[in-house]
Amino acid sequence: MKPRIVILISGRGSNMAALLAASLPLEIAAVISNRPGAAGLALATAQGIAAEVVDHQAHATRETFDQALAEAIDRHQPQLVVLAGFMRILTPAFIRHYQGRLLNIHPSLLPAFPGLHTHRQALQAGVRIHGCTVHFVTEQLDHGPIVAQAAVPVLPDDTEETLAARVLESEHRIYPEALRWWAEGRLTLRDDGRVGVQGAAFPQGALRVPGAAA
């Protein structure tokens, strides 16, 4: 039996679409959005996947929203909850409920640039390399054990929009890869807070941007 996941979205669901296109060895039990108008809901429905809304605006507090969201998720009995552009800060109780079963992708090379406007932060900091991170969610915002990262160069004429587009391409590559590792039972949350990936080949040496002769 394939492992089951539930995907949480807030908007167009481009990372969700990348997961769908990857033909992963898992079952997507449902897609849930906190926004009724999220374009990704229509995409899920077109793929025959249950699409639901738990509207955060219908709840007076984060706690009551997260409780309703957890109830909606748990009806599908997933082994993993996947955040794919889900733009809500989750409460500690919700995170503890899914401890070790809550995966996120963030548009920066964590722990650099947590929070919002990561591409603006990268440009203002003058970094030469930016990227994205797949990680397990913990109570500390945009931290937690790292599963995978991808780096992209920051070009001299980059804007927030051009840099975001380059990072998004990498997100669409590494998120399906990380989910495949999980579905194949190759991820291990170690006691030291790091993630082990069984059988994964990692490149040797360092990515250097801008490139220069040794």
Enumerate the domain spans of the chain.
Answer: 4-104+133-147+171-192
Is the pLDDT score of 212 beyond 90?
Answer: no
Mean of pLDDT values over 133-146: 96
Percent with pLDDT over 70 in the chain: 93
Average per-residue pLDDT in the chain? Answer: 94
Domain 4-104+133-147+171-192: CATH superfamily, name plus number: Formyl transferase, N-terminal domain (3.40.50.170)
DSSP designation for 154: P
Burial-class residue 37 by CB neighbours within 10 Å (0-12, 13-18, 19+): exposed
Please check whether residue 106 is in contact with residue 133, taking contact to mean a CB–CB distance below 8 angstroms: yes
**Does the active-site annotation cover 97?**
no
Which segments within 10-153 are labelled E, that is strand?
27-33, 50-53, 80-83, 102-106, 129-136, 146-153
C-alpha 71/C-alpha 84 separation (Å) is: 19
Q: For 46-55, 71-80, 111-120, 195-204, which range has the lowest pLDDT when averaged over its residues? A: 195-204
Catalytic member of 106, 119, 130, 172: 106
Apex 85 CA angle, 149 and 159, nearest 5: 70
Mean of pLDDT values over 120-149: 97
Model pLDDT for residues 160-193, shown as the tens digit of each residue = 999 999 999 999 999 999 999 999 999 999 999 8
Mean of pLDDT values over 66-76: 98
